[in-house]
Structure 1
Amino acid sequence: MDMDLRQIRMFVKVAEYGSITKAASALHMEQPPLSRNISHLEKRLGLTLFSRSHTGVTLTTTGRDIYAKSVDVLRNHEEFSAYTKRLSTSRSSYINIGLSDGMSANKKVISNINLFLRNNPTCKYTLFGGSQDTIVTRVLRGDIDCAVIWGQVRNMELSCIKYSRTRIYAAVNDDLFRRNCLYTDINTLMRENIIFYGGGEEAHMFKSIHEQFDGKAVASDVTMAARDIFSAITLVSLGLGCTIVPSEIITLPFDNVMYIPINGDDINCEVSIIYRKIDDIVPLKNFLAAFGLKK
């Protein structure tokens, strides 16, 4: 028969005081109910926990074993209660924020993060950077409370709110385009090896671009896939193809790489904020509010 915490506390107090009367006083209860509870506990367990005499009670050999275990149970419960209390308190005063690769160069995003911090001076935070796929995975795991990403995420566990748009550039190797070329277009890019990255079923980083690729035959026999933005640009620098990047990335220096605006007003990249639908911490609501969004 299982013992609940109330019964365990009663048993431990009686064992520690060696007296039901003294234990009842320490527990702020009458002696008869405590005595009945101990007797009922022994019957339910089918064990004799105490030897009784006119001077008090002492633990039996079995009782001593149960006592040691009971003390451990109460200590673990107290530690667990203290931990969850600290966690509950701290989760109302800190937030883990994720930024996809290159997002730290988005001045509007950083400005809104600073606004959040100014409006919540007691809120502690940690910023995490990484590839799009890594950031999305960590949000799904709960390691990161919310993240600012390129494009959108398709996952039933996540909420994805569109925040803004940014212009798209083609990252090309110096040898592939003339330096005086002011812009390019999708048709021009189709004649080169296209290096995609961070895509897949969940993280569609450049939906509008991908849709324009759909149904078109890429002239090249090879369309490459890279792990993240920086890996893709590295492949571009090696002359293995070209890729598409948000405007924030063009400030990053890479040898043999130039950035050319893609012609077309509808050629852009969405910036979104994602978080788990089950999360409802106060800092998350305040974070979204700083971006002019609601949960």
Structure 2
Amino acid sequence: MHTQPHDDDPTDAPAGSDAGSEGGAVGPGQVVLAGTPIGNLGDAPPRLRAALETADVLAVEDTRRLRRLTAGLGVTTRGRVLTHHEHNEAGRVAELLDAVRTGGTVLVLSDAGMPTVSDPGYRLAEAAAAEGLTVTAIPGPSAVLMALAVSGLPTDRFTFEGFLPRKSSERATRLAELDGERRTMVFYEAPHRLEVMLTALRDAFGDGRRAVVARELTKLHEEVVRGSLAELVDWCGQGQVRGEIAVVVAGAPAPEAARPEDLVAEVETLVAGGTRLKDAAGRVAERTGVGKRELYETVLSARKG
């Protein structure tokens, strides 16, 4: 088991100081996953500026995005910049790990949001953690959490499903797996595929399932559209939807509780197959959540009636 080092008492550090921040001081020999603004540069966390200026290596999806970010924040990088995206991520891991092993800080940046969450960075974090190297993060904006928070749907339990498959057959299979999911679900989708996606959700979960489309979060044209899946399909079909999109869908409703009288035939089928009545009632009761004694007595009453 690998345990990352951390400061024993981070509360001794001055407010706003990097020194003494538990598991978060940007220092040598570590991978730092840095959250970046999802639209509004004013959301950049203060520690991000220092990390950009001091990191030995900056692993970025797009160097142009990095230049816009640093210009907007008024910072200058001194570290080596390497591209690190879905097409070369596997080949970059060894090189980035070498930098960490020799005492360097590798700052991982996605185009927006937190690396590893539907963005590059997971393979590096996985490999570094497996070696016992330090992996930490600079918290930042998250489209997943923001969309969930503003959706008005339950937030106590949720699941992030990322992008659905593009092929209709694979998409249908994934949604069938989620048919009974009770937790609120958060998805990402490209604007030009949104209508197809919402239609697939409607077909899988029903017209009335509540959902939310959160578009251009934190940006000038931020929009949050709430309604049933049928209503959202109609809304989407009225015009071209643009921008970065998260879709939040309410979980499946709780199944109706089974009634003992509806389970009599199932119990009797087990009895006909050689199972004792008490055992048969117990098995069916355990599976359906009804009371064993209540089900047993209901079967006896049905026999008398």
Q: Which has the larger radius of gyration?
A: 1
Do they fold alike, i.e. is TM over 0.5? no
Q: Which has the higher contact order (CA 8 A, sep 6+)?
A: 1
- What's the TM-score once normalised by structure 1's chain length? 0.27
Structure 2 length normalisation: TM-score?
0.26
